[in-house]
Structure 1
Amino acid sequence: MTPTHLPGRVAIPALPSPPSLPEQTRDAPAPSSPLEHFNTAPADDVEPLLLTCLRSPRWAHRLTAHRPYPTLDALLAASDEAAYDLTAADLAEALAGESLPALPADAYAAARTALSAAHAAYEARFGHTFAICLDGVPVPELPDHLLAAIRSRLANDPEEERAVTADELRRLARGRLVTHLRGAGP
């Protein structure tokens, strides 16, 4: 280091040059987050992923078209808004891709039979599969929670059930998006 001398000033040593990085390190792209990948991936890659979250092409296209999202919360807010805007036909399309949540392998045969009968009654009344988000429900409580929810919702009138179902689909999409973007999804 050579000190720099200016008249009437204290000598300040020059700063050393930063160490040189190996060529491969300088040119390597920074690791991207799942959200960055979501924001920059081609639409043809993103829409199929979104359709695993909610089987509504309109919803998936809307989320894809409005990228980039600055944060996961912004993406989830956009997902909610797009789900709230689904038409009856969009909801029917999304519901066609849903299936009844699976019971734990050790669930009693009586629980499976009761659930099957309740689901059949639900489908006969409303014309579509039962949709419910079970995030946060402990596995041992799944059969009872699922059966109670179906029985409770059988009392809804069709318009009320349409609103409840739309909200459950919104919650399912939100949970699946979070799972995919945290790296646990495909």
Structure 2
Amino acid sequence: MAENTPPGGAVDPDPGLARLNALTTESLRTELAQCLDIDRWVEEVAAGAPFPDREALLSHADAHARGITGEEVAGALARHPRIGEKAEGKGTEANWSRGEQSAFASGTDDAGAKVQRIFAFAQKEYEDRFGQIYLVCASGRGPRELLADLVERLYNDRGTELAVVGDELRKIAGLRLVKLLESV
């Protein structure tokens, strides 16, 4: 019988979810940490397994990511490269990061290169102001859109910015969970 074929021979409609549900708790935690490296979140999401369907998993994960604290933001940022820098390593998380930022690097004409240089300057301003890297859910967003977001966020106070980064981490975690489910 095939790996994702339940008794009776019917094919499991969501092999990615079946794979996650079949993992040991420790293996599930390892997989989830690639999506969002916050111990509390990993533990809370893993505690909800097994999940009856994809929507239940995504909803459960999203609900627990909505409470990301400022302290958790600092720890999670350590695993994210700056926008415009290639993620190091060959693992799943590094590959995801490179893919999520691919639209940023796509502007190879003179105008795109200028926007990227201005972005690098604004990113330095952001780091000086907030003492952390600028993090955004960059998936599918080009340099001009990211620059506009970055400049707008420079006007935030520290508390507001930590909340914004927490929400961006939540969005990234949701996208990565879907990738986890599709990596069968």
- Which range, TM-score by smaller chain? 0.7 to 0.9
Deviations 1:3-36 (A, max 9, x none): xxxxxxxxxxxxxxxxxxxxxx5x9761651111
Q: TM-score, normalised by structure 1?
A: 0.74
Supply the RMSD in Å over aligned alpha carbons.
2.1
Moved more, 38-47 or 100-109: 100-109
TM superposition shift of 1:106: 4.4
Q: Given that residues 35 and 181 in structure 1 are in contact (C-alpha distance below 8 angstroms), is that contact kept between their aligned partners in structure 2?
A: yes
* Higher RCO (C-alpha under 8 Å, 6+ residues apart): 2
- Give the aligned length: 155
Q: Given that residues 69 and 166 in structure 2 are in contact (C-alpha distance below 8 angstroms), is that contact kept between their aligned partners in structure 1?
A: no
**Cα 1:181–1:165, aligned 2, differ >3 Å: closer, same or farther?**
same
Q: Given that residues 99 and 130 in structure 1 are in contact (C-alpha distance below 8 angstroms), is that contact kept between their aligned partners in structure 2?
A: no
C-alpha distance in 2, partners of 1:60/1:126?
Answer: 26
Deviations 1:65-112 (A, max 9, x none): 221111111111111121122332212111222223343254343223
Deviations 1:112-167 (A, max 9, x none): 32111111111111111111113443xxxx11011111001001111111111111
Ranges in structure 2 where 5+ consecutive residues have no aligned partner = 6-10, 85-103
Q: Given that residues 4 and 18 in structure 2 are in contact (C-alpha distance below 8 angstroms), is that contact kept between their aligned partners in structure 1?
A: no
Match status 1:124 vs 2:128: yes
Identical residues among aligned pairs (%):
32
Moved more, 151-160 or 109-118: 109-118
C-alpha distance in 2, partners of 1:28/1:154?
Answer: 50
Q: TM-score, normalised by structure 2?
A: 0.75
Deviations 1:45-81 (A, max 9, x none): 2222212211212211221122111111111111112
Larger radius of gyration: 1
Per the alignment, residue 133 of structure 1 pairs with 137
C-alpha distance in 2, partners of 1:164/1:176?
Answer: 18
Q: Given that residues 96 and 128 in structure 1 are in contact (C-alpha distance below 8 angstroms), is that contact kept between their aligned partners in structure 2?
A: no
Ranges in structure 1 where 5+ consecutive residues have no aligned partner = 1-24
